[in-house]
A and B are shown apart, each in its own frame.
Chain A
Amino acid sequence: MNTQTPVIQVDGLSRTYRDVAALKDVSFTLEPNIICGLLGRNGAGKTTLMRMLTGQDFPSAGSARVFGQDPVENSAVLQQMCFISESTRYPEGFQARHVLTGAPWFYANWDAAFADELVGKFRLPLKREVRKLSRGQQSALGVIVGLAGRAPVTIFDEPYLGLDAVARHTFYDTLLADYAEQPRTILLSTHLIDEVSNLLEHVLVLDEGRLLLDQSADSLRGSASAVAGRAGDVDSFAEGRQVLHRDTLGGLATVTISGRLTSADRVAAAAANLEIAPVSFQQLIVDLTTQSTPQPSLASVVYE
Chain B
Amino acid sequence: MDEGRPIFQQIAERVENDILSGALVEEGQVPSTNEFAMFYRINPATAGKGVNLLVEQGILYKRRGIGMFVAAGARERITARRREQFVLEYVAPMLAEAASLGIAPGQLTQLIDTQLIESQLTEKETR
Contacts and interface: CB of A to CB of B under 8 A. Distances in A.
A179 interface: yes
A199 interface: yes
Contacts of A183: 44
A198 B41 contact: yes
Interface string B19-52: 0000000000000001001101111111001000
B9 to A, nearest CB: 9
A218 B2 CA distance: 12
Interface residues of A, number: 26
A199 B43 contact: yes
A200 B46 CA distance: 9
B4 interface: yes
Interface in A168-201: 172-173, 176-177, 179-181, 183, 198-201
- State the main secondary structure of chain B at its contact with A: helix
Contacts of A221: 3-7
B96 interface: yes
B112 interface: no
A35 interface: yes
A279 B5 CA distance: 10
B3 A180 contact: no
A225 B2 CA distance: 13
A270 interface: yes
Closest 8 CB pairs of A and B: A278-B4, A180-B34, A278-B3, A218-B6, A198-B42, A280-B3, A201-B43, A180-B44
Interface of B: 1-8, 34, 37-38, 40-46, 49, 96
9 contacts: A179-B44, A180-B44, A198-B41, A199-B41, A200-B43, A218-B6, A218-B46, A218-B49, A277-B4
